[in-house]
Amino acid sequence: MTSHPTVVLVDDHALFRSGVRTEIEGADDAGARATVVGEAGDVDEAVRLILDREPDVVLLDVHMPGGGGAEILRRVHETRPGQRFLALSVSDEPEDVIRLIRAGARGYVTKTISGDELTAAIHTVHAGDAVFSPRLAGFVLDAFAGRSSGEITVTADPELDQLTDREREVLRLIARGYMYKEIARRLTISPKTVEHHVSAVLRKLQLSNRHELTRWATERRLVD
């Protein structure tokens, strides 16, 4: 596995793209750098570029005209199912975040994160692991507690619908701001096991279905 992942940037905000490019190509730690092999500003261009350049990681903005990041994910995965995506977003709305994870993104970061954190996230996704910000962990805890304001429908598989106690513990530690290494130390398990739990949660999020609750429940609470 190369230590310099190749990256394609997809964002309709050109100024933002150039800023990110500078950050990840010019990271202080040479080992942390990544190579940007392409930039795209709309859905069609992005799909074409990704299938052509075959990057290690695609940095993908959630809100793009023409269907958004989810559309790009869908189209690329039809041809290149192993392509890894890291979602980037201004929005902090649970629906947007979870929608993209369910569409296949391996993680989610907000646009306000530092350059260091961004390069670290790119490397994490490149290594095949999931990037879980504290905020995403909070959303996931909410979603599986039935409190998500997003749209998730029903399935019969109870295993997928629930988090195991261990998984919930790991998520809560992530939400509290712990790094994977720190979590491993605290739970006396190996960092690999932590990553394994996180990936399992990601898979559940992608495959699970649960009732749409919050809006309706709010009305009921008011009405009953």
Q: How far is the CB of 135 from other proteins (least distance, A)?
A: 5
Return the number of the residue (42 or 212) whose C-beta is nearest other proteins.
212
Q: How far is the CB of 25 from other proteins (least distance, A)?
A: 23
* SS3 at position 39: strand
- CA–CA distances in Å: residue 12 to residues 18, 59, 175: 11, 12, 30
* SS3 at position 85: strand
Return the number of the residue (83 or 208) whose C-beta is nearest other proteins.
208
Q: How far is the CB of 83 from other proteins (least distance, A)?
A: 29
Return the number of the residue (67 or 138) whose C-beta is nearest other proteins.
138
* Residue pair 138/175 in contact by the 8 Å Cβ criterion: yes
Angle, CA of 51, 48 and 4, to the nearest 5°: 50
Q: How far is the CB of 214 from other proteins (least distance, A)?
A: 10
What's the token pair of residue 190? 């190996």
Contacts of 165 (CB under 8 A, 6+ apart): none
Return the number of the residue (4 or 172) whose C-beta is nearest other proteins.
172
Return the number of the residue (6 or 214) whose C-beta is nearest other proteins.
214
Q: How far is the CB of 212 from other proteins (least distance, A)?
A: 10
β strands within the chain, DSSP E = 6-10, 35-40, 57-61, 84-89, 108-110
- CA–CA distances in Å: residue 126 to residues 111, 188, 208: 19, 26, 24
Residue ranges binding other proteins (CB under 8 A)? 91-93, 112, 134-135, 137-138, 141-142, 145, 147, 172, 175-177, 182, 215-216, 218-219, 222-223
Q: How far is the CB of 190 from other proteins (least distance, A)?
A: 19
Return the number of the residue (48 or 181) whose C-beta is nearest other proteins.
181
State how far the Cα of 36 lies from the Cα of 39, in Å rounded to an integer: 8
7 has which bridge partners? 36, 57
